[in-house]
Amino acid sequence: MLTRFPSTVFISSHNSTLYQKMQFTKMHGAGNDYVYIDCFQEPTPADPAALAVSVADRHKGIGSDGLILICPSEVADAEMRMFNADGSESAMCGNGIRCVAKYVFDHEICQKSHMTIQTGAGILALDVEHENGKVQQVRVDMGEPILLAAEIPTTLAGNPEVNHHVINVPLSVGGHEFAVNCVSMGNPHCVIFVDKATDDLVLRIGSQIESDARFPERVNVEFVEIVSPTEVRQRTWERGSGETMACGTGASAVCVAGVLSGKTERKITNHLLGGTLLIEWDESTNHVFMTGPATEVFRGVWDD
């Protein structure tokens, strides 16, 4: 049973009685949507992996790409823990962390224009743009890209022409021959530049590459069309979630791969299915910066 109220959704598995068990907030960054739990106010779920599977179900749950916990931190303004729709935990989510920053600011947990969020990939710095007490856009310092094959990780051999990084390296999957580019932004990505990011490539080949043995921790797969040296279009098959409307760490990896493969400049506009992100790989610091929106959709109570 689902009953809508002005800004709140109550979801119950019972037909006549409403049980308020856990408050949640549904948010998205460029269409990459997650269910967020405020663990400053709510107890940390006993089994967040199982909860992620339940809430992510778009037919029987709330519907999302996964679950994100917003937790207290001893070393940052807040901590983010991110679980994919299949229950697997990932170290980072670029679109998710922007929404965490919005939630933390909008709900007065930390109302600083410059804040830090602890993640599985380290502590990241974020700058928020706000209007009338609400965050509209967030710039994230995504840190330095990881390019060593063993640290991504992948067993693909590096290209000696580009410092033995996995750039323009041959990969044969599902009857296709690709030149792939592997980058980690706290989680592993396989970036493939194509003339057209078709459904067959994204949905069929993307899923095969995700679980390919040459990626021992599985991998996120980006199929990218080059519009110009400063503009691309991206579709992502995300590890543990399938195709998503956007992927922030993937968009960051695309910028790095584009520069190293000679296809893009260091500052690009990346058009994803759910929106547009601005990405810059700063040469002086070696850090990747991502700027994009963060949106709250609705709040509710989950009774499982």
Measured CA to CA, the distance from residue 252 to residue 288 in angstroms comes to 7
**Where in 61-166 does DSSP place strands (E)?**
66-71, 78-84, 89-90, 114-119, 122-131, 134-143
- Is 99 marked active-site? no
Separation between Cα atoms, residue 107 and residue 163, nearest integer Å: 46
Q: Which of 99, 182, 190, 247 is catalytic?
A: 247
Q: In which region does residue 28 sit, left (phi positive, over 0), alpha (psi from -120 to 50) or beta (all else)?
A: beta
Is 254 buried (19+), middle (13-18) or exposed (0-12) by CB count in 10 A? Answer: buried
Q: 247 catalytic, yes or no?
A: yes
Distance CA 279, CA 290 (A): 5
Q: Within a 10 A sphere around the Cβ of 220, how many other Cβ atoms? A: 27
Q: What share of the chain is helix, strand, coil (3-state, %, to 5)?
A: 15, 45, 40
Q: Which residues are catalytic?
A: 93, 247
